[in-house]
Amino acid sequence: MLSPDAQLIRRGLRVSGVVQGVGFRPFAHSLARDHGVTGTVSNRGGAVEIEVQGTAQAVAAFVDELTRRAPTASRIDRVAIVELMPRTESEFAIHESATDESPGIAIAPDVATCPQCLADVDDASSHWGRYPFTSCSGCGPRFTVVTAAPYDRERTTMRPFPMCAACHADYLDPASRRFHAQTIACAQCGPKLALGNADGKPIDSPVQISQAATWILDGKIGTLKGIGGFHVFCDATNLTAVTELRRRKRRDEKPLAIMVDSLAEAKRRFEITPAEEQWLTSSARPIVLLRKRREIPLAAGISAGLAHTGVMLPYSALHHLLLKAVRGRPLVMTSGNAAQEPTAFRDDEAQARLPAIADFFLTHNREIVSRCDDSVVRLAGTQHIFIRRSRGYAPAPLVVPFRSPAPTLALGAQLKSAFALGEENRAIVSHHIGDLDDFETLIDYGSSIAHYERLFRLKPQVLIHDLHPDYASTHYAMQRATRERLRAVAVQHHHAHLASCLVDNNAVGPAIGVCFDGTGYGPDGAIWGGEFLVGDCRIAQRAAHLKYVPMPGGEKAIREPWRMAAAYLTQAGVAAEESLAAIPASQLRMVAQMMNQQINSPPTSSAGRFFDAMAALLGIRHVVAYEGQAAMELEALALTREAGGVYEFTLSEAEPLVIDFGPTVRAVAEDVRQKRESALIARRIHRTVALMIETVCRRVADRSGLTTVALSGGVFMNALLLEETHCRLAQAGFKVLLHTRVPPNDGGISLGQLAVGAAQSE
């Protein structure tokens, strides 16, 4: 027993960030043993609190290594240190979590199975050999199994599985990687696999995974209960199976993601940069968009018309075993749903909806508490872009440069919906919910909000919603505000984009916001989407925008880009019949009439619609099967060719500035008529837009004196445009802010809404 003497010091540490449920306490414990220090560690609120005692040198080394060697799945935002009086103690103890009511609860995102656990799974002699739910204190499901905070086994869906003696011994052994691992389980005590045919009838088989693999290699379609929901899967090299899967899912053209067994296999099939490799193998294991190699094709139609395919590596022991059993064959691994519906994650839901899609079920009896779709990331050079921030990231709180004065709920927009809870200087941005046009998704939206409020013990007092009066999220806010007598605040869509990009970069502005997307409600009633704003989180003004063009047919013009091409051509004084020869003359006449008489042709400044129009004009795509398809294919085409030169555009002297792409449209129409190579034209269009952004930013900077530019909006998922624009702006001396923590698309809107709400309440 050490007694307190002059040589011993004691420090209190409060470590905040993502530190709970990621193996932080066992890590601190083993570190304490390494350094011969005593003390305690416990979860409190959202933080880990440590008291450490030893020689000054040992304590300093402990604190240093605590941050440097922290578990991979953790994220330390801040370590606060206070001096304490040394006391008499002989060990370093882990204290049970306290269910205190203090704010600041953090729930860790799900973590992919770690290499050590996979090694155990591959080792037949190990206690965890071949067990598909192996995990340790540093890996495994978190958010998707937790029912309440703090994260401890009894408050997870592991509760029905009492540990066996062997697992319990490891759980209590400070020397074990599974010390205090809340999801520890083995074949004797843990969740079990079940294999069934489409009717849900169990198939009694001791070798379920190998039977499932046999079926897959035979061309059958299966559904797999994973971490955040059900997947539908099949052999990605079997064209018949892939085509059938698309037919049953009613998913005609949208690209499908695949899972490959290893990094080596990914490298064999795709061109991978070091940055892409890092994301692909990270402990969040997102889907990464990788450039295809032509030599080793997958089945046609995995991602037709695109240069990239969404690829992920196995992220659970079950995936790992399955990919081994199919002998490394790449698998289509797509969400378990039909068409627009949300991914199934409950067993009853899956049994009701998925038999129409799958020939068999590979499922298990561990309940999924919250749906969490796979995250999607793409790289523009070394710069990453979140297309979807979900599994592996949500609901880790983001530290933000503003304070919500009261618990606040921001409701996002309509498509790619994600909501956010704001509390103090933290924003909890939800997992990806989906498109609220779909009724099932809307139901899920409401129950997910309720789940987060319970989980984080937050009762919102302020609701923030989009200015659009008809968004389902706006309706939710209005109804709830009336029912619960809460304050509701409307935020203009592109102002929210600007604010989102600012706080994503820990900035509050002012800045020039380049907010380019498909659709956003403008205060003048027009459909905005090619906006240059000047402002900060509190207030923003429109400094420039694309010239309005009519959208003949309204929403229909989004699904049929040829309508936008006709509108742009007409406005530029080019005969649409000649440039859009593939479109029946009667259709073109109808559209011309609509525009002439201003029937169902709302004006828009949308940059997304401009890209659509260009894709249609080039004959790439006249009708789209999913949002953004035409623009994505235009980018894919442009990526195949380097080209110099730009097209002309004009700027008005008005306030706000108006950008007219008329000269561009005339030149592109002429290039198409001359049968110039489409790839060159596509490349030149991208370059023109990047140059336009630079030119307008210079003009706006002259007027406003601002030198920071924030790029936001779904158009900036276009990596080619993002890179060129970023490069030009940086060379022009601007400080450029890009999204890094949330997507540039409407998945990041709720973060911006929180920021605007907080700023306006000051």
CA-nearest of 260, 289, 135 to 639 is 289
**Residues near Fe ion (CB under 5 A), total:** 2
Q: CB of residue 38 vs Zn ion: minimum separation in angstroms?
A: 27
Complex with Fe ion: residue 536 or 746, whichever CB lies closer = 746
697 makes contact, choosing from Fe ion, Zn ion, none, with CB < 5 to 8 Å by partner type, with none
Complex with Zn ion: residue 136 or 719, whichever CB lies closer = 136
Complex with Zn ion: residue 70 or 167, whichever CB lies closer = 167
Regarding 466 and contact with Fe ion (CB under 5 A), the answer is: no
Regarding 186 and contact with Zn ion (CB under 5 A), the answer is: yes
Complex with Fe ion: residue 341 or 746, whichever CB lies closer = 746
Q: Report whether 420 contacts 414 (CB < 8 A).
A: no
Name which position in 136, 146, 576, 659 contacts Zn ion (CB under 5 A).
136
164 makes contact, choosing from Zn ion, Fe ion, none, with CB < 5 to 8 Å by partner type, with Zn ion
Q: Report whether 720 contacts 639 (CB < 8 A).
A: yes
Give the count of alpha carbons within 13 A of 412, CB side only: 29
Regarding 164 and contact with Zn ion (CB under 5 A), the answer is: yes
Q: CB of residue 665 vs Fe ion: minimum separation in angstroms?
A: 24
Distance CA 643, CA 628 (A): 24
189 makes contact, choosing from Zn ion, Fe ion, none, with CB < 5 to 8 Å by partner type, with Zn ion
Task: Name which of residues 506 to 545 contact Fe ion (CB under 5 A).
Answer: 517
Q: Any idea which residue has 């490298």 for tokens?
A: 267
Complex with Zn ion: residue 126 or 197, whichever CB lies closer = 126
Name which position in 58, 114, 224, 693 contacts Zn ion (CB under 5 A).
114
Residues 499-534 as b/e (b if ≥16 CB within 10 A, e otherwise) read: bbbbbbbebbbbbbbbbbbbbbbbeeebbbbbbbbb
139 makes contact, choosing from Fe ion, Zn ion, none, with CB < 5 to 8 Å by partner type, with Zn ion
Strands 540-546 and 527-535: antiparallel
Residues 348-385 as b/e (b if ≥16 CB within 10 A, e otherwise) read: ebbbebbbebbbbbbbbebbbbbbbbbbbbbbbeeebb
240 makes contact, choosing from Fe ion, Zn ion, none, with CB < 5 to 8 Å by partner type, with none
Q: CB of residue 259 vs Fe ion: minimum separation in angstroms?
A: 30
Complex with Fe ion: residue 49 or 746, whichever CB lies closer = 746
Q: CB of residue 69 vs Zn ion: minimum separation in angstroms?
A: 16
Angle between helices 662-673 and 561-571 (to 10 degrees): 110
Complex with Fe ion: residue 153 or 378, whichever CB lies closer = 378
Complex with Zn ion: residue 188 or 650, whichever CB lies closer = 188
Complex with Zn ion: residue 188 or 598, whichever CB lies closer = 188
Q: CB of residue 136 vs Zn ion: minimum separation in angstroms?
A: 3
Name which position in 105, 149, 167, 721 contacts Zn ion (CB under 5 A).
167
746 makes contact, choosing from Zn ion, Fe ion, none, with CB < 5 to 8 Å by partner type, with Fe ion
Question: Rg for the chain (alpha carbons), in Å?
Answer: 27
Q: Report whether 76 contacts 65 (CB < 8 A).
A: no
Regarding 189 and contact with Zn ion (CB under 5 A), the answer is: yes
- Going across the sheet that includes 92-94, the strands are 75-84, 8-18, 47-55, 38-44, 92-94
Regarding 275 and contact with Zn ion (CB under 5 A), the answer is: no
Regarding 117 and contact with Zn ion (CB under 5 A), the answer is: yes
Q: CB of residue 597 vs Fe ion: minimum separation in angstroms?
A: 30
Residue 72 DSSP one-character state:
T
Q: What are the residues whose beta carbons fall under 8 Å from the beta carbon of 616, sequence distance 6 or more?
A: 561, 562, 564, 565, 580, 622, 630
167 makes contact, choosing from Fe ion, Zn ion, none, with CB < 5 to 8 Å by partner type, with Zn ion
106 makes contact, choosing from Fe ion, Zn ion, none, with CB < 5 to 8 Å by partner type, with none
Complex with Fe ion: residue 627 or 635, whichever CB lies closer = 627
Residues 83-102 as b/e (b if ≥16 CB within 10 A, e otherwise) read: eeebeebeebebeebeeeee
Distance CA 266, CA 273 (A): 11
Q: CB of residue 738 vs Zn ion: minimum separation in angstroms?
A: 33
Q: What are the residues whose beta carbons fall under 8 Å from the beta carbon of 571, sequence distance 6 or more?
A: 547, 549, 662, 665
Contact range with Zn ion by CB under 5 A, out of 164-172, 293-301, 654-662, 746-754:
164-172
- For 494-555, the three-class secondary structure string (H helix, E strand, C coil) is HHHHHHHHHHHCCCCCCEEEEEEEEEEECCCCCEEEEEEEEECCCCEEEEEEECCEECCCCC
Q: 561 by DSSP, 3-state: which?
A: helix
Q: CB of residue 746 vs Fe ion: minimum separation in angstroms?
A: 5
47 makes contact, choosing from Zn ion, Fe ion, none, with CB < 5 to 8 Å by partner type, with none
Complex with Zn ion: residue 31 or 758, whichever CB lies closer = 31
Q: Report whether 611 contacts 714 (CB < 8 A).
A: no
Residue with the closest Cβ to Fe ion?
517
Q: CB of residue 441 vs Fe ion: minimum separation in angstroms?
A: 18
Name which position in 37, 121, 139, 372 contacts Zn ion (CB under 5 A).
139
Distance CA 414, CA 471 (A): 6
Regarding 121 and contact with Zn ion (CB under 5 A), the answer is: no
Write down how long the chain is.
Answer: 762
Q: CB of residue 139 vs Zn ion: minimum separation in angstroms?
A: 3
C-alpha distances (whole Å) from 257 to each of 211, 272, 329, 754 are 23, 16, 14, 32
114 makes contact, choosing from Fe ion, Zn ion, none, with CB < 5 to 8 Å by partner type, with Zn ion
Q: CB of residue 142 vs Zn ion: minimum separation in angstroms?
A: 12
Task: Name which of residues 381 to 440 contact Zn ion (CB under 5 A).
Answer: none
Regarding 746 and contact with Fe ion (CB under 5 A), the answer is: yes
Expressed in angstroms, the distance from the first to the final Cα of the chain is 55
For residue 196, give the H/E element and its range. Answer: strand 193-197
Q: Which residues make up the interface to Zn ion (CB under 5 A)?
A: 114, 117, 136, 139, 164, 167, 186, 188-189
Instruction: Enumerate binding residues for Fe ion (CB under 5 A).
Output: 517, 746
